[in-house]
Amino acid sequence: MNAARTMLISAAVCPHPPLLVPAMAGEAAGELDALRAACGTAVGRLRAAVEASDGCVLYVVGGDTVTRAYGPDASGSLHPYGLGERPAPDAAVLPLSLTIGEWLLRGSGLDARFQGVAYDASPEECARLGRELAGSAGRVALLVMGDGSACLTEKAPGYLHPDAGAYDAAVARALERADAAALAALDPKVSHEVQAAGRAAWQVLAGAAVTAPAPARYESELLAYEAPYGVGYFVASWDGVP
């Protein structure tokens, strides 16, 4: 990968529903088997890229109440969703997006740094954070956690929104084509209206993937695009091309 153009060598994009963890889903765990398999493929490709690049730093990026970096003492918890023990009062607990990211990395042997981005962060703030992460080391990889619209059907958590389907289709195209410009152009107001929790995290990816004067090139694949509960779930893989 040509470091003069970008320092982001690889990225995986995954969703973060609690039900992705089989123990959370119970008897319904099989409904997301294909989605879990796609996440496993994306994380496997990410692992291969990290291991093949000396000194590569892996960040897990996901939506949070505020933009903040987490230290090595932070860990995820699914206790608010009915699984596991309550964290200690003084524990540093990852938000849901990063908790699921941590779970996806278990057993991979990869060390990661965890970065939250405020759900309501502006596109400019997201792009700036992406550039900072990409510039933090000679080689950087990202695991980007984000859900699509929660308004795709009448039974969806946010009920049916007329623009939700078109919004998610546009996100799917952008992820499939590694189109950083399209991700950067996502409208925060529309994203909020269709309850797309991944908008800020995707725009961090866009900021990391593009450096002046020209965008980097990536081999990309959309591994999954599903909405089993009226919420859009995407899995994608981007690998840098020299």
pLDDT in tens, 173-198: 999 999 999 999 999 999 999 999 99
Looking at residue 160, the DSSP 8-state letter turns out to be: -
Determine the pLDDT at residue 215. Answer: 54
CB 167 within 8 A of CB 190: yes
Determine the pLDDT at residue 6. Answer: 55
How many other CB atoms are there within 10 angstroms of residue 152's CB atom? 24
Segments of the chain with pLDDT less than 50:
1-5, 212-213
pTM score of the predicted model: 0.94
Determine the pLDDT at residue 211. Answer: 62
Determine the pLDDT at residue 1. Answer: 37
Q: Which amino acid is at 131?
A: R
Q: 20: closest CA among 172, 145, 157, 156?
A: 145
Kindly calculate the radius of gyration of the chain based on its CA atoms and give it in whole angstroms. Answer: 17
Determine the pLDDT at residue 213. Answer: 44
In whole angstroms, what is the distance from residue 194 CA to residue 166 CA?
10
In whole angstroms, what is the distance from residue 23 CA to residue 130 CA?
33
In whole angstroms, what is the distance from residue 94 CA to residue 101 CA?
10
